[in-house]
A and B are shown apart, each in its own frame.
Chain A
Amino acid sequence: EPEVTQTPSHQVTQMGQEVILRCVPISNHLYFYWYRQILGQKVEFLVSFYNNEISEKSEIFDDQFSVERPDGSNFTLKIRSTKLEDSAMYFCASRRGLSSTDTQYFGPGTRLTVL
């Protein structure tokens, strides 16, 4: 069964450093998403992306964050200058379309630790 993959599984970085989290969505999916989950809390929406554009973003997704689909397969989340509070699990998700039968599928996540 096709699945969303994410790399790395764990990323440790120093405060102020830039990080790039990578995702490979399911191949025939057109809509892509990033979510985050701070330890012990609920999963929070960050951003959605379609046709090389951000279609919706939350208040969490400020100027420090950016997303990109640099080629036909990868979908990346960049945090320019990490803060301690960016430590969380980051989940990528993808969806084939917007019909009522299309569901978001989540990747296994990247654990980001900011020291």
Chain B
Amino acid sequence: GENVEQHPSTLSVQEGDSAVIKCTYSDSASNYFPWYKQELGKGPQLIIDIRSNVGEKKDQRIAVTLNKTAKHFSLHITETQPEDSAVYFCAAMTSYQKVTFGTGTKLQVIP
């Protein structure tokens, strides 16, 4: 089955700096890569996604990149703000029916 690795597990940045979270996946059949933000006591919330026919996607301060050949994808958050502090999960979908999550990155933005 699919295996998604995520790094780093924790990340502290100063407010205004950029944050980068990296993931790798194992199944070359994966074709959809969502990123979720999970705040304390809440469920994962989709923040951005990328499909395998696209190399990069941007939404305001958030961008994702995908390298299918290397099976790498990354989340970039620019101009970080305290409200960006949360746990971020990358994920991959192979079958249409399940999301395989990465191990999570706890992001702390220091004011």
How many B residues, CB 8 Å from partner? 23
Min Cβ gap B92→A in Å is 11
Q: Provide 22 A-B residue pairs closer than 8 Å at the C-beta atoms, listed in order of the A residue.
A: A4-B43, A42-B103, A42-B104, A43-B89, A45-B98, A48-B97, A48-B98, A50-B97, A55-B97, A56-B95, A56-B98, A58-B98, A91-B43, A100-B31, A103-B49, A105-B46, A106-B36, A106-B44, A107-B43, A108-B41, A109-B42, A109-B43
Measuring CB to CB, which residues of chain A are less than 8 angstroms from any residue of chain B? Answer: 4, 31, 33, 35, 41-45, 48, 50, 55-56, 58, 91, 93, 98, 100, 103-109
Residues of chain B within 8 A (CB-CB) of A44 are 101
Number of A-B contacts (CB under 8 A): 54
Min Cβ gap A41→B in Å is 8
List of 4 A-B pairs having minimum Cβ-Cβ separation, nearest first: A106-B43, A48-B97, A45-B98, A43-B101
B70-111: which have CB < 8 Å to A? 89, 95-104
Q: Are A33 and B98 in contact (CB under 8 A)?
A: yes
Residues of chain B within 8 A (CB-CB) of A45 are 98-100
Min Cβ gap A21→B in Å is 13
**Distance A39 CA – B80 CA, assembled complex (angstroms):** 26
